[in-house]
Chains A and B, each alone.
Chain A
Amino acid sequence: DADVTQTPRNRITKTGKRIMLECSQTKGHDRMYWYRQDPGLGLRLIYYSFDVKDINKGEISDGYSVSRQAQAKFSLSLESAIPNQTALYFCATSDPGTRTIYFGEGSWLTVV
């Protein structure tokens, strides 16, 4: 089983709809992240959380919100989806003692 699990893996939604992407991890890491991948732009940080009570905006947080329900769970919401939010979304975790982050398998989101 994957250490970082994302659901759903694929979703097509309509413009204006609310959509939530969920992430859970079994690595026991305190730090969790949401990244977005777009062709040619690499991965860009949307939000990050160092613990349950700590939420921080990343490079591209506009149009997104997050919730850290527990140490192991970090969800990303698009309150009103728009087509340019069509992308591949990755959840990731890290241990404060290292500088390596570990990614989930990704969630493909298409907004039509």
Chain B
Amino acid sequence: DQQVKQNSPSLSVQEGRISILNCDYTNSMFDYFLWYKKYPAEGPTFLISISSIKDKNEDGRFTVFLNKSAKHLSLHIVPSQPGDSAVYFCAASGRWNAGNMLTFGGGTRLMVKP
């Protein structure tokens, strides 16, 4: 049973508009969440993260929101650009793991149309 889920396999957005990518998790012991971006033929690259002590973290055009009660996080990209077209993975980790073990969602493919 997947502990981290991205229920939308794909998302299409017009350039300049907002992209919202969603992620749900089931394990309340997760306390750190990350978003990775992956282009074809490349490895995933770290994008932004948030600790469970916060409900928002912002980095330029990227903002991650965390709703612990709903076990839900979202990544907002404003404004969206064609170069943002990629697969986005959310990931979660918990301190019970003796290390930086990440549990990943299945990914959402974002397409930003010019």
Contacts and interface: CB of A to CB of B under 8 A. Distances in A.
B27 interface: no
Interface residues of A, number: 24
A96 B97 CA distance: 12
A100 B4 contact: no
Contacts of A42: 2, 4, 6, 89, 104-107
Interface of B: 2, 4, 6, 9, 32, 34, 36, 41-46, 49, 89, 91, 93, 98-102, 104-107
Contact of A100 (B42, B49, B99): B49
6 contacts: A42-B2, A42-B6, A43-B44, A58-B101, A99-B93, A101-B100
A105 B105 CA distance: 19
Contacts of B99: 31, 48, 50, 94, 96
Contacts of B43: 4, 90, 92, 103-106
A40 B4 contact: no
A84 interface: no
A106 B42 contact: yes
B42 A99 contact: no
